[in-house]
């Protein structure tokens, strides 16, 4: 809990500096964008907060997780709904690794085919015998 309290304290401090000391127009615009984004629309605010929870997990933004989980709770999200948003993030985090693995396979294929003189090794052929068994 100490880490969460520190995140909240740091957010309040930084936001105060940006708004009060520096009067940051850009930060004010960011806050306006956030308010416009998280209004009820075709998607209720609660659903938008749950989406943000998942994105926060994938992006490894602890401050974002703390904020959007809290906002989701304020908007009526249940513990189970928040957990499922996190579980979707698990899959989305794994997805890019699977996609990147396809590129790795291309590199492997290219290197090993190049080493074989540019010829592709034929894939093993499976032939059926009369009794329905497969020869390899």
Determine, yes or no, domain membership for 65.
no
Name the pTM for this structure.
Answer: 0.76
Determine, yes or no, domain membership for 26.
yes
Determine, yes or no, domain membership for 11.
yes
* Longest pairwise C-alpha distance within the chain: 85
Is residue 127 a contact partner of residue 135, using CB atoms and an 8 Å limit?
yes
Domain membership of residue 9 as a residue range: 1-37
Greater pLDDT, 128 or 117: 117
Q: pLDDT, tens digit, for every residue of 72-82?
A: 999 999 999 99
């Amino acid at each position: 809990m100490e880490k969460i309290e520190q995140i909240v304290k740091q957010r309040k401090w930084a936001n105060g500096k940006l708004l009060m000391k520096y009067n940051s127009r850009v930060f004010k615009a960011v806050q306006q964008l956030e308010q416009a984004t998280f209004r009820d629309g075709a998607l209720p605010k609660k659903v938008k907060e749950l989406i943000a929870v998942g994105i926060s997990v994938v992006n490894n933004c602890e401050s974002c997780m703390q904020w959007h989980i809290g906002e989701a709770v304020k908007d009526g999200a249940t513990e189970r709904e928040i957990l499922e948003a996190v579980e979707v993030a698990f899959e989305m985090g794994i997805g890019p690794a699977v996609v990147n693995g396809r590129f790795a396979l291309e590199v492997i294929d290219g290197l090993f085919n190049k080493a074989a003189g540019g010829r592709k090794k034929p894939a093993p052929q499976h032939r059926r015998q009369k009794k329905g068994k497969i020869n390899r």
